[in-house]
Amino acid sequence: MKPKHQRLVLGLLAVGAVAGASALALSALKDQAAFFYAPGDVKKAGLPLGRAVRLGGMVANGSIAKQADGVTINFTVTDGVATVPVRFAGITPDLFKENSGVVAEGQFQPDGSFVATNLLAKHDERYMPPEMAGKLHETKTLIQ
């Protein structure tokens, strides 16, 4: 076999090996990937039943209801287009409150509700720790 053909065969084997490794990695991640949905997306496309997804939006005003067991809460997530009722059993993040952003990880139920296994509270981009806000306020006062 000529050296030119050997290089071609080795190059094709390398490309095949990379393609095979990529295919294996993608098939392994397919089951682990959690897709993100907003309530409006669910309204348009239907419920993605039987797989782990993330539901994101705002906690609707007046929708947080704590159950008698002290651990379970029910609330509603909205994006201004649609709403989805959510049930979560566990400790909520400190930033979790009404009219704030939330990402809930879990699964949709056939009745259209969402059972969350994890909550991630979101804050706005202008967030500043109270200590820094106080120092910034003092600095502005001194400059003026």
Residue 128: pLDDT band by 50, 70, 90 thresholds?
A: low
Distance CA 51, CA 140 (A): 51
Average pLDDT, the chain: 81
| The predicted structure's pLDDT at residue 19 | 93
Residue 74 CA from chain centroid, whole number: 18
Q: Could you tell me whether strands 72-78 and 65-66 are parallel, antiparallel, or unpaired per DSSP bridges?
A: antiparallel
pTM of the model: 0.64
Report the helix count and the strand count for the chain, using DSSP H and E: 3, 7
Q: Give the pLDDT band of residue 144 (cuts 50, 70, 90).
A: very low
Three-class SS state of 30: helix
Whether 20 has a pLDDT exceeding 60, the answer reads yes
